[in-house]
């Protein structure tokens, strides 16, 4: 190859490279900074400041060292959005030859985003972009009209009247969400990635968001959003029309009116994996509610109401303070409609499901100081108990150690009112035709052994058990208790369970129909409980039974001794031989040293 050809090829390669390398020396990127800040400020209705700009010919972008978007003054002075680097993708040819800025994309590295929800339900981003569409610079709060005119005369107009951009990405960001008044640590979303395609304030556009949650959780949201709401969410159509007319006359009415970007319409699919709602800051640890959950939900907003329906797969579920983790996963399906204006919602259905068994909850809630206050109703009608085994520990139902309920049905009707941390559950329940397997009731009842005992074996049959119940932070109270256990007969009474789990129940058992007593016991207790005035020694109507201890280890005491002492005078008139034959003397702890059955006079 001739030397001249080689030189020509080298020049052909070197010249474009040198020309590209020289461009930054001839194009001062910082001359575009005031205009970009002005246009972004106008589009976002917030003061936007950029650090020093540089031109990257390789990536075809303007690079800002710093980015800050001001906070809504109502929420403080700390910037709403900050980042160490912003890359603005631009069309290079118009920029170099015509000094015209045409933006293709925004790429933000490692931003810090601070989201705040006020007590009335408004967000600190609600006023974003409320000036969009009113003309260049209409929403700027800090750039005078004269300055903008001067900038426009110096630099050709940018294509940012409504911030229409082909692509906006955020990489490895960090977002914190706080509620006012402050009640607990903020929710933190790390490794936040956002992708907005064909972004425009005036049109719908697709989006995708993903982030990490504390406790190894992952969240992903995708769908479409927009156009961004630049009208007051609480204004009616008539008010908007009136204001539009006034705006045409004054150019100021809409600019000064409150806006709500949070009322923007969207349609999204939400997926959360390995969510620990306590670690993530969604639930107060004091509420006692805990789980590790996965969520798949469809969420739609029309700008007025947000409708969400989906399913939660909950492991290690605990629904009440003092409850224990459910041994098997629980599926919770729900449908909720939330009113943005009313800051309240309707729980159309919330179903706790294990296998084919479901318990349904319906009602309403109201956000008070950003804390949901519920008014719900739980309904269960003839639900098979076998299917509820996994759910019972989660709601605080405890059985004696080693015992399980088998067979039968549960019906329940409860009102649930209050917050997750402080609520009252009140209503009634009824259990039918079940068995307490693994618990020998007869061997546990102190004081009845002298009558021959209650014979139940290791399974206690329960024909029916029902009561009215009230549960709050001070414990639970059961009234109007009625149960029929074939081995013990009918029982009625009331009782309480303390927050620590201590039992204090007082029952009266009519054991004359009990199948577990021997003949001697039946004969004696029949005498004591006879409805015949002639046979009835006293006003006794049954055996008092006291239950103490805990649900896992109850202590059951039958006060047969007290009942006998109350009727001692009547029984002694029938002769001491009756006492000896029936063995009642044992109940008084006395020894009969004489072979004679006739008392000495």
Distance of alpha carbon 536 from alpha carbon 541, whole angstroms: 9
Mean pLDDT lowest among 58-67, 549-558, 559-568: 559-568
Cα 145 to Cα 166: distance, rounded to the nearest angstrom: 28
544, part of any domain:
yes
213 beta partners: 217
Flag whether 579 is in a domain: yes
Mean pLDDT within 6-23: 49
What mean pLDDT do residues 515-536 have?
48
DSSP SS3 for 555: strand
In a domain, 16, yes or no: no
Comparing 11-15, 91-95, 290-294, which segment has the lowest mean pLDDT? 11-15
What is the percent of the chain where pLDDT is above 90? 43
Q: What is the mean pLDDT of the chain?
A: 78
What mean pLDDT comes out for the span 502-521?
Answer: 71
pLDDT one-digit tens code per residue, 125-142: 998 886 554 443 333 333
Q: In this predicted model, which residue has the larger pLDDT, 327 or 170?
A: 170
Q: Which of 205, 241, 215, 195 has the alpha carbon at shortest distance from 315?
A: 215
pLDDT band at 143 (very low <50, low <70, confident <90, very high): very low
Question: What is the C-alpha separation between 584 and 535, in angstroms, rounded?
Answer: 18
Number of independent structural domains in the chain: 1
Torsion angle of C-alpha atoms 183, 185, 186, 190, degrees rounded to 10: -170
Mean local confidence (pLDDT), 251-276: 76
Least confident of 25-29, 195-199, 524-528: 524-528
pLDDT tens profile 419-456 = 988 899 999 999 999 999 998 887 777 765 544 455 55
**pLDDT, greater one: 510 or 417:** 417
Domain presence at residue 392: no
Residue 181 class from Cβ within 10 Å (0-12 exposed, 13-18 middle, 19+ buried)? Answer: exposed
Instruction: Say whether pLDDT at 573 is over 60.
Output: no
For position 533, what pLDDT does the model report? 39
DSSP 8-state class, residue 423: E
Residue 161 lies in a domain: no
The pTM of this model reads 0.74
- The continuous run of DSSP H or E covering 266 comes out as strand 266-275
Residue 5: band (very low, low, confident or very high) from pLDDT cuts 50, 70, 90: low
Separation between Cα atoms, residue 166 and residue 188, nearest integer Å: 29
The residue-averaged pLDDT of 78-95 equals: 92
Return the pLDDT at 246.
Answer: 44
Closest CA to 467 of 426, 504, 438: 426
The separation between CA 509 and the C-alpha centre of its own chain, rounded to angstroms, equals 43
What's the mean pLDDT in 356-364? 90
Instruction: List pLDDT tens digits, range 388-406.
Output: 887 888 888 888 998 999 9
pLDDT band at 64 (very low <50, low <70, confident <90, very high): very high
Residue 553: phi and psi, rounded to 5, are -140, 75
Residue 505 domain-assigned? Answer: yes
Higher pLDDT, 534 or 65: 65
Confidence of residue 577 (pLDDT cuts 50, 70, 90): low
Phi, psi of 247 (to 5 degrees): -60, -40
Beta bridge pairs of residue 412: 380, 429
The token pair at 589 is 């702890």
**Quick one: pLDDT band at residue 27, thresholds 50, 70, 90?**
low
Q: How much is the pLDDT for 174?
A: 96
196-247, pLDDT tens digit by residue? 999 998 899 999 999 999 888 999 999 999 998 765 533 433 344 444 444 4
- Residue pointed to by tokens 């969240």: 219
Q: Is 45 part of a structural domain of the chain?
A: no
Stretch 43-52: mean pLDDT: 92
Q: Which domain holds residue 528?
A: 444-452+463-601
Q: Using only the alpha carbons of the chain, give its radius of gyration.
A: 38
pLDDT > 90? residue 519: no
Residue 474 maps to a domain: yes
The DSSP letter of residue 502 is B
Q: Per-residue pLDDT averaged across 18-30, rounded?
A: 57
pLDDT at residue 356 tops 80: no
Confidence check: pLDDT of 532 > 60 = no
Q: Is 5 helix (H, G, I), strand (E, B) or coil?
A: helix
Mean pLDDT of 511-521: 54
Residue in 66, 47, 64 with CA at minimum distance from that of residue 55: 64
Give the model's pLDDT for residue 112. 97
Mean pLDDT of 115-124: 88
Confidence (pLDDT) at 270: 97
Higher pLDDT, 381 or 527: 381
Query: Which residue's entry shows tokens 């109270």?
Result: 477
């Amino acid at each position: 190859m001739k030397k001249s050809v080689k030189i020509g090829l080298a020049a052909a390669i070197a010249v474009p490279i040198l020309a590209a390398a020289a461009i930054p020396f001839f194009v001062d990127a910082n001359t575009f900074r005031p205009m970009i800040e002005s246009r972004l400020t106008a589009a976002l209705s917030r003061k936007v400041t950029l650090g020093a700009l540089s031109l990257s010919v390789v990536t075809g972008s303007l690079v800002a060292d710093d980015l800050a978007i001001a906070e809504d003054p109502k929420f403080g002075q700390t910037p709403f959005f900050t980042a160490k680097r912003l890359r603005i993708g631009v069309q290079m040819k118009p920029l170099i030859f015509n000094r015209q800025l045409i933006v293709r994309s925004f790429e933000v590295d490692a931003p810090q985003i601070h989201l705040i929800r006020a007590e009335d339900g408004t967000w600190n981003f609600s006023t974003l972009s409320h000036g969009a569409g009113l003309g260049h610079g209409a929403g700027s709060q800090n750039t005078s009209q004269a300055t903008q005119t001067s900038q426009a005369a110096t630099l050709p107009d940018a294509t940012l009247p409504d911030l229409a951009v082909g692509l906006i990405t955020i990489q490895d960001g960090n977002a914190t969400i706080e509620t006012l008044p402050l009640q607990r640590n903020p929710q933190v979303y790390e490794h936040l990635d956002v992708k907005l395609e064909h972004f425009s304030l005036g049109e719908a556009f697709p989006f995708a968001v993903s982030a990490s949650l504390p406790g190894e959780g992952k969240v992903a949201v995708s769908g479409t959003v927009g156009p961004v709401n630049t009208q007051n969410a609480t204004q009616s159509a008539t008010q908007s029309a009136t204001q539009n007319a006034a705006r045409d006359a004054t150019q100021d009415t809409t600019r000064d009116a409150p806006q709500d970007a949070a009322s923007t319409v969207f349609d999204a699919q939400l997926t959360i994996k390995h969510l620990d709602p306590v670690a993530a800051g969604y639930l107060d640890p004091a509420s006692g509610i805990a789980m590790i959950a996965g969520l798949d939900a469809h969420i739609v907003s029309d700008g007025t109401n947000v409708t969400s329906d989906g399913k939660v797969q909950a492991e290690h579920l605990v629904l009440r303070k003092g409850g224990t983790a459910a041994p098997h996963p629980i599926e919770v399906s729900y449908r909720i409609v939330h009113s943005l204006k009313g800051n309240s919602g309707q729980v159309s259905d919330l179903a706790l499901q294990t296998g084919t068994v479901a318990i349904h909850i319906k009602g309403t809630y109201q956000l008070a100081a950003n804390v949901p206050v519920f008014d719900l109703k739980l309904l269960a009608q003839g639900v098979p108990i076998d299917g509820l085994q996994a759910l019972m520990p989660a709601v605080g139902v405890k059985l004696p150690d080693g015992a399980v309920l088998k067979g039968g049905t549960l019906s329940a009707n409860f009102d649930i009112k209050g917050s997750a941390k402080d609520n009252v559950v009140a209503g009634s329940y009824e259990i039918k035709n079940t068995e307490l397997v693994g618990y020998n009731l007869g061997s546990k009842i102190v004081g009845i052994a002298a009558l021959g005992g209650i014979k139940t074996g290791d399974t206690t049959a329960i024909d029916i058990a029902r009561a009215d119940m009230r549960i709050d932070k001070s414990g639970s109270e059961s009234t109007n208790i009625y149960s029929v256990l074939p081995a013990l007969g009918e029982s009625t009474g009331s009782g309480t369970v303390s927050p620590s789990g201590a039992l204090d129940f007082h029952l009266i058992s009519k054991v004359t129909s009990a199948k577990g007593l021997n003949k001697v016991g039946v004969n004696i207790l029949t005498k004591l409980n006879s409805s015949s005035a002639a046979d009835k020694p006293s006003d006794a109507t049954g055996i008092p039974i006291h239950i103490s201890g805990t649900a896992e280890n109850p202590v059951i005491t039958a006060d047969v001794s007290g009942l006998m002492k109350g009727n001692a005078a009547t029984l002694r008139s029938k002769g001491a031989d009756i006492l000896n034959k029936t063995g009642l003397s044992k109940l008084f702890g006395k020894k009969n040293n004489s072979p004679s059955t006739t008392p000495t006079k």
